[in-house]
């Protein structure tokens, strides 16, 4: 009769030690590692912003510069930059004049890890309307107009380009 009790006691003691070891490991980790990705990198909500030249509807966004990101831990600036570099269409970024224009473009990720531009369906659900696995745009982009920002906000030799 003592053997089952001894085995149960040994099991509980082992379980208690394992739990103590796990909490010590958790306590030694940096705070940003302990916070869950689900809270910090919310699919289709957490975003990175890029300033891009938007031209024809099926032309790629060009001259993109990383502007801001909600949480650097999510890595959306790097992943979004790679997505924009492979070719993201201007038509999904919003309406622009026929001659093109500069816009701030938000880039999101979804539950599947894809990166792209979000849209909202009629029922209110969000999805990526174009992402890094979609075909790239095929039209030629229009040349950008400088300056990118109103006078006094952006500086550099490109501001004097026609």
pLDDT digits (tens, 9 = 90+) for 16-50: 444 444 444 444 545 555 455 557 899 999 999 99
First vs last C-alpha separation in the chain? 93
Q: Which element (helix H / strand E) includes 34?
A: helix 31-34
Q: Which element (helix H / strand E) includes 17?
A: helix 2-28
Task: Supply the pLDDT for residue 13.
Answer: 47
Whole-model pTM: value is 0.67
Q: What are phi and psi of 63, to 5 degrees?
A: 55, 40
Decide if 61 contacts 53 (C-beta within 8 A). Answer: yes
pLDDT in tens, the chain (162 residues): 555 555 545 444 444 444 444 444 444 545 555 455 557 899 999 999 999 999 877 889 999 999 999 999 999 999 999 999 999 997 644 444 567 888 899 999 999 999 999 999 999 999 999 999 999 998 888 888 877 777 777 776 666 655
Task: Supply the pLDDT for residue 144.
Answer: 87
């Amino acid at each position: 009769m003592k053997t089952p009790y001894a085995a149960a006691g040994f099991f509980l003691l082992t379980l208690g030690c394992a739990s103590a070891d796990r909490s010590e490991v958790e306590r030694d980790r940096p705070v940003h590692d302990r916070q869950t990705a689900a809270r910090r990198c919310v699919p289709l909500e957490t975003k990175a912003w890029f300033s891009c030249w938007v031209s024809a509807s099926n032309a790629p966004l060009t001259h993109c510069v990383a502007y801001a990101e909600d949480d650097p831990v999510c890595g959306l600036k790097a992943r979004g930059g790679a997505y924009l570099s492979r070719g993201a269409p201007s038509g999904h970024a919003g309406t622009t004049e026929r001659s093109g224009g500069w816009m701030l473009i938000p880039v999101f990720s979804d539950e599947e890890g894809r990166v792209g531009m979000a849209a909202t369906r009629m029922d209110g659900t969000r999805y990526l309307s174009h992402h890094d696995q979609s075909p790239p745009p095929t039209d030629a982009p229009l040349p950008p107009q400088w300056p990118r920002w109103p006078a006094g906000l952006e500086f550099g030799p490109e501001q004097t380009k026609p």
